[in-house]
């Protein structure tokens, strides 16, 4: 101990020691930031960030050691062997890069700690390698115990640093990590230096050093500054562009460009948040959906520009009368919705609606025309009516339509007996119980293509109910009921088996996508069911893609994560469906190990007509790219959209323009056509031509 302390206190030049310490602290901080980048990215991006982090950290470790060495005064003539000293820099970089690679491995286990240990070993190797190149006019002997302790402390502190960095939380994690990293480097250096005893011996020849120490210090520090600068600026540029894309995306997804009001996604998120808290607070909220009567006439007679101007005025006026705890959004077209919190009494709700109604009744003047507007309001209150945010909005919408039809009342409160078609729905649910027994389900298949080559890459299996009286019932009409009643479990299992069995008969490069409802994830043995189905049908796991939506995940995040990992272990691909429609698509994407995302059709189908959709698709692709996740655009309805996607480097596409979902025999025809095209032309360029 005394040996080590006296080595720090007496044998090192203080100002150079201070310089070494500054390099070490600064470099550790930058390395820790870069490590965060390496951890957050995937694929090629991750490889690049790993290398950058390793190079910066290695340089920092080496500079610290080398500068401290220059400040070290052995009392006799000394010098550094250029080749060994340079080689020790490479050792430091390689060790640090390996360590970062290990620390950022995605699977849990002890990889961060193993990475930390290899970082400590890398520092040790660099230190003693560098020392081997240190020539002094003396006999040098080593205290083996101190050498062993230097390695022990360096490695142990490296392990703790990595553990804190990769498993800790918040800013404290970064500060602790960087400090521990600094500590690890210092422990190794000073204990290692203390282990060395120098007995002057003039007979040992020291080749004259070429450069004075001061010039060397300057050169080393400048190099360190450049490397740190490059590392830090690339870090900030990368996070800025990603943060910018994320910000743009968030704004776009939640606001309406024409009126500047928030949009439906924003409102549903607000409502969802309130629904969670209402029962605890014992309060009530009111939701109203309203629509301008005969707005279509304005558009048709005076043109869209006039229509837009009117909508803007309406939005501005309605917003002007809002008070605290009230939110107004535009749902689309001439349809708006508003939310009122703390609406305990009916009179509060009535006053709220009356206020909006009065604001809208004032005539709108534009371009010499005077428009008298009337709006119809549908109202629903929670918890008087229960349901999800979407259901509540649907209820308010149904009530609004009744108000529109009515001549006497422009405001209607939702009434289950009068709104909607609950009765026929109930009859359908009764039938749904026997759907499997009667073998009435069928799968249709919608092709997915590679955008660049136009070749088929797979199909999405979409279920239909071939009802004896109603004909083909689309999934939107029975999947929600199946989810409510739990029937989705046997139905989902049937779909999975049928789809896998079919795909097993197709050429081996074609994949099959199957939609998975959230309930299926939570039954506990879903991964087992998938494994069994794959084994029974003989389909290779890499060919199965499971599509899950964000709602499915958020229902039960922890449990879902576990199932997702089990499925990935099987080799199955996990796809995020309907990307962009959920409130937190972004954070879900960042926290879940998805293999692919499907950009929702609502954005894709309006890609060429709406600037907003185009921006969302663009931002989504930048993000997907930075996470190295391929994207599939669904809902491609025309050639122009496909060309846009191609120009923007979107990997895969699906949509009516390529083909609608088709029965199995037509899917088979498409496969045959694709195969023979490929056979004839080698690699076909252009769009997939067989339409269903
Ligand atoms: P989804 O997963 O988003 O499936 C895509 C839907 O978009 C399909 O509707 C498809 O016909 C439609 N579509 C495809 N291309 C276009 C296009 O270019 N334009 C437009 N406007 N639409 C397009 P489908 O078959 O009616 O399915 C509706 C939803 O029902 C699916 O949405 C999915 O959420 C659910 N679903 C279907 N099959 C299953 C199933 O086996 N299990 C579960 N849990 N849900 C299913
Ligand atoms: Ca889907
Ligand atoms: Ca979808």
- 578: helix, coil or strand? strand
Read off the pLDDT of each residue in 602-617 and give the average, rounded to a whole number: 88
pLDDT at 113 over 50: yes
Strand blocks (E) in 304-415: 326-332, 335-340, 364-366, 369-371, 375-382, 411-413
Cα 25 from Cα 179, distance rounded (Å):
7
Domain ranges of the chain: 2-247, 264-420, 424-691
What tens digit of pLDDT does each residue of 140-173 get? 889 999 999 999 999 999 999 888 888 877 678 8
- Local confidence band at 558 (pLDDT 50, 70, 90 cut-offs): low
Question: Which residues make Cβ contacts (< 8 Å) with residue 112, sequence separation at least 6?
Answer: 102, 103, 162, 163, 165, 166, 167
Ligand 1 center to residue 643 CA distance, Å? Answer: 23
Q: Is 479 in the pocket of ligand 1 (CB under 6 A)?
A: yes
Read off the pLDDT of each residue in 129-138 and give the average, rounded to a whole number: 85
Read off the pLDDT of each residue in 189-212 and give the average, rounded to a whole number: 79
What tens digit of pLDDT does each residue of 304-314 get? 888 899 999 99
- Local confidence band at 691 (pLDDT 50, 70, 90 cut-offs): very low
Is 560 or 189 the better-scoring residue by pLDDT? 189
| % the chain with pLDDT above 90 | 38
Strand blocks (E) in 550-644: 573-579, 596-599, 631-634
Ligand 3 center to residue 600 CA distance, Å? Answer: 6
Q: What's residue 415's pLDDT?
A: 86
pLDDT at 591 over 70: yes
| % the chain with pLDDT above 70 | 90
Q: Is 520 in the pocket of ligand 1 (CB under 6 A)?
A: no
- Local confidence band at 424 (pLDDT 50, 70, 90 cut-offs): low
Q: What's residue 687's pLDDT?
A: 44
Cα 612 from Cα 586, distance rounded (Å):
17
In whole angstroms, how far apart are CA 94 and each of 84, 87, 103?
Answer: 15, 11, 14
- 448: helix, coil or strand? strand
pLDDT at 271 over 70: yes
Q: What's residue 197's pLDDT?
A: 86
Cα 21 from Cα 548, distance rounded (Å):
51
Which of 441, 485, 515 gets mutated to test ligand 1 (max ligand atoms within 8 A of its CB)?
Answer: 515
Which of 432, 479, 499, 599 gets mutated to test ligand 1 (max ligand atoms within 8 A of its CB)?
Answer: 479
Cα 320 from Cα 310, distance rounded (Å):
15
Cα 315 from Cα 260, distance rounded (Å):
9
Highest-scoring range by mean pLDDT, 96-100, 214-218, 381-385 = 96-100
Hey, which CATH number is domain 264-420, 3.90.180.10, 3.30.70.270, 1.10.260.40, 3.10.20.30? 3.30.70.270
Read off the pLDDT of each residue in 412-428 and give the average, rounded to a whole number: 71
Where is average pLDDT lowest: 275-284, 333-342, 579-588? 579-588
Shortest-distance atom of ligand 1 to CA 492: 42
Q: What's residue 352's pLDDT?
A: 96
Q: What's residue 11's pLDDT?
A: 64
Ligand 2 center to residue 548 CA distance, Å? Answer: 8
Read off the pLDDT of each residue in 462-473 and give the average, rounded to a whole number: 91
Cα 480 from Cα 647, distance rounded (Å):
37
Q: Which residue has the tokens 């918040």?
A: 170
Q: What's residue 683's pLDDT?
A: 40
Q: Is 462 in the pocket of ligand 1 (CB under 6 A)?
A: yes
Q: What's residue 364's pLDDT?
A: 86
Closest C-alpha residue for ligand 1 atom 37? 462
Read off the pLDDT of each residue in 480-493 and give the average, rounded to a whole number: 87
Phi, then psi, of 328 in degrees rounded to 5:
-120, 135
Q: Which residue has the tokens 């498993």?
A: 167
Closest C-alpha residue for ligand 1 atom 35? 475
Where is average pLDDT lowest: 69-78, 325-334, 337-346, 428-437? 69-78
Cα 504 from Cα 537, distance rounded (Å):
7
User: What is the edge-to-edge ordering of all strands in the sheet holding 411-413?
Assistant: 326-332, 335-340, 285-292, 375-382, 411-413
Read off the pLDDT of each residue in 280-289 and give the average, rounded to a whole number: 88
Strand blocks (E) in 105-230: 134-136, 138-142, 196-200
In whole angstroms, how far apart are CA 596 and each of 156, 258, 386, 627, 633?
Answer: 39, 32, 35, 10, 11
Burial 218-234 (b: 16+ CB within 10 A, else e): eebbeebeebbeebbeb
Q: What's residue 685's pLDDT?
A: 37
- Local confidence band at 209 (pLDDT 50, 70, 90 cut-offs): low
Which of 601, 655, 687 gets mutated to test ligand 1 (max ligand atoms within 8 A of its CB)?
Answer: 601
Q: What's residue 689's pLDDT?
A: 44
Hey, which CATH number is domain 424-691, 3.40.50.620, 3.10.20.600, 3.20.20.450, 3.40.50.2300? 3.20.20.450
Ligand nearest the Cα of residue 654 is 1
Read off the pLDDT of each residue in 221-227 and give the average, rounded to a whole number: 78
Ligand 2 center to residue 257 CA distance, Å? Answer: 28
Cα 521 from Cα 292, distance rounded (Å):
42
Contact (Cβ atoms closer than 8 angstroms) between residue 504 and residue 535: no
In whole angstroms, how far apart are CA 36 and each of 96, 170, 621?
Answer: 15, 12, 22
Check for a shared fold between 264-420 and 424-691: no
Closest C-alpha residue for ligand 1 atom 23? 635
- 178: helix, coil or strand? helix
Ligand nearest the Cα of residue 490 is 1
In whole angstroms, how far apart are CA 643 and each of 86, 454, 657?
Answer: 52, 11, 12
Is 615 or 572 the better-scoring residue by pLDDT? 572
Q: What's residue 574's pLDDT?
A: 94
Contact (Cβ atoms closer than 8 angstroms) between residue 554 and residue 518: no
pLDDT at 646 over 50: yes
Arithmetic mean of pLDDT over the chain: 85
Cα 112 from Cα 104, distance rounded (Å):
7
In whole angstroms, how far apart are CA 8 and each of 78, 122, 191, 245?
Answer: 18, 22, 9, 49
pLDDT at 275 over 80: yes
- Local confidence band at 528 (pLDDT 50, 70, 90 cut-offs): very high
Closest C-alpha residue for ligand 1 atom 12? 635
Q: Is 605 in the pocket of ligand 1 (CB under 6 A)?
A: yes
What tens digit of pLDDT does each residue of 387-418 get? 888 889 989 988 898 888 777 788 999 987 77
Neighbours of ion ligand 2 (CB under 5 A): 515, 547, 577
Q: Is 598 in the pocket of ligand 1 (CB under 6 A)?
A: no
Highest-scoring range by mean pLDDT, 54-58, 235-239, 675-679 = 54-58
pLDDT at 128 over 80: yes
Shortest-distance atom of ligand 1 to CA 516: 44
Angle among Cα 420, 421, 425 to the nearest 5 degrees reads 130
Ligand 1 center to residue 462 CA distance, Å? Answer: 6
pTM: 0.58
The span from the first CA to the last CA of the chain, in angstroms, equals 81
Read off the pLDDT of each residue in 245-268 and give the average, rounded to a whole number: 80
Q: Is 635 in the pocket of ligand 1 (CB under 6 A)?
A: yes
Ligand 3 center to residue 676 CA distance, Å? Answer: 30
Q: Is 268 in the pocket of ligand 1 (CB under 6 A)?
A: no
Is 617 or 231 the better-scoring residue by pLDDT? 617
Quick count: other Cβ atoms within 10 Å of Cβ 72?
A: 19
pLDDT at 684 over 50: no
What tens digit of pLDDT does each residue of 430-461 get? 788 888 888 999 999 999 999 999 999 999 99
């Amino acid at each position: 101990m005394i040996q080590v302390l006296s080595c720090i206190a007496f044998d090192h030049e203080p100002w150079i020691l201070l310089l070494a310490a500054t390099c070490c602290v600064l470099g550790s901080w930058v390395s820790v930031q870069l490590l965060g980048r390496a951890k957050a990215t995937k694929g090629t991006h991750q490889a690049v960030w790993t290398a950058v982090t390793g190079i910066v950290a290695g340089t920092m470790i080496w500079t610290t050691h080398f500068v401290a060495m220059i400040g070290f005064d052995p009392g006799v003539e000394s010098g550094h062997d250029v080749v060994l000293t340079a080689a020790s820099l490479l050792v430091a970089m390689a060790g640090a890069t390996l360590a970062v690679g290990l620390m950022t491995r995605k699977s849990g286990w002890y990889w961060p700690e193993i990475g930390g240990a290899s970082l400590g070993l890398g520092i040790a190797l660099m230190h003693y390698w560098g020392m081997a190149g240190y020539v002094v006019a003396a006999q040098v002997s080593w205290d083996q115990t101190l050498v062993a302790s230097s390695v022990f402390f360096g490695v142990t502190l490296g392990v703790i640093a990595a553990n804190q960095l990769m498993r800790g939380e918040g800013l404290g994690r970064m500060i602790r990590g960087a400090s521990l990293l600094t500590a690890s480097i210092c422990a190794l250096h000073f204990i290692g230096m203390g282990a060395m005893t120098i007995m002057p011996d003039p007979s040992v020849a020291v080749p004259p050093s070429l450069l004075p120490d001061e010039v060397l210090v300057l050169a080393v520090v400048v190099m360190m500054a450049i490397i740190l600068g490059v590392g830090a600026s690339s870090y900030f540029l990368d996070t800025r562009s990603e943060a910018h894309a994320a910000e743009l995306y968030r704004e776009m997804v939640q606001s309406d460009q024409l009126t500047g009001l928030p949009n439906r996604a924003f409102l549903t998120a607000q409502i969802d948040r309130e629904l969670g808290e209402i029962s605890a607070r014992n309060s009530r909220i009111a939701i109203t959906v309203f629509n301008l009567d005969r707005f279509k006439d304005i558009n048709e007679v005076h043109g869209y520009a006039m229509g837009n101007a009117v909508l803007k005025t309406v939005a501005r006026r309605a917003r002007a009368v809002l008070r605290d705890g009230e939110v107004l959004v535009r749902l689309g077209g001439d349809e708006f919705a508003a939310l009122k919190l703390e609406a305990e009494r009916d009179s509060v709700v009535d006053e709220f609606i009356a206020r909006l109604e009065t604001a809208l009744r004032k005539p709108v003047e534009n371009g010499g025309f005077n428009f008298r507007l009337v709006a119809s309001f549908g109202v629903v209150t929670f918890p008087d009516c229960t349901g999800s945010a979407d259901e509540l909005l649907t209820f308010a919408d149904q009530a609004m339509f009744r108000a529109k039809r009515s001549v006497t009342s422009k405001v209607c409160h939702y009434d289950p007996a009068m709104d909607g078609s609950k009765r026929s729905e109930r009859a359908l649910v009764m039938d749904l119980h026997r759907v499997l027994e009667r073998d009435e389900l069928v799968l249709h298949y919608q092709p997915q293509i590679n955008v660049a080559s136009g070749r088929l890459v797979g199909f999405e299996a979409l279920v239909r109910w071939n009802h004896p009286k109603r004909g083909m019932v689309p999934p939107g009409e029975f999947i929600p009921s199946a989810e409510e009643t739990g029937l989705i479990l046997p139905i989902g299992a049937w779909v999975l088996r049928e789809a896998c069995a079919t795909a097993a008969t197709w050429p081996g490069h074609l994949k099959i996508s199957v939609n998975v409802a959230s309930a299926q994830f939570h039954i506990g043995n879903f991964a087992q069911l998938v494994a069994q189905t794959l084994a029974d049908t003989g389909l290779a796991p890499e060919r199965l893609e499971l599509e899950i939506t964000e709602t499915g995940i958020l229902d039960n995040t922890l449990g879902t994560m576990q199932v997702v990992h089990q499925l990935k272990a099987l080799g199955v691909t996990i796809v995020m469906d309907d990307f962009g429609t959920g409130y937190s698509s972004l954070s879900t994407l960042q926290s879940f190990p998805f293999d692919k995302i499907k950009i929702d059709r609502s954005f894709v189908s309006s890609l060429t007509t709406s600037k907003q959709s185009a921006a969302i698709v663009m931002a989504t692709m930048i993000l997907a790219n930075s996470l190295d996740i391929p994207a599939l655009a669904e809902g491609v309805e025309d050639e122009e959209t496909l060309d846009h996607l191609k120009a923007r480097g979107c990997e895969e596409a699906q949509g009516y323009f390529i083909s609608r979902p088709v029965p199995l025999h037509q899917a088979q025809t498409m496969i045959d056509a694709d195969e023979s095209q490929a056979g004839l032309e080698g690699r076909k360029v252009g769009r997939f031509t067989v339409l269903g």
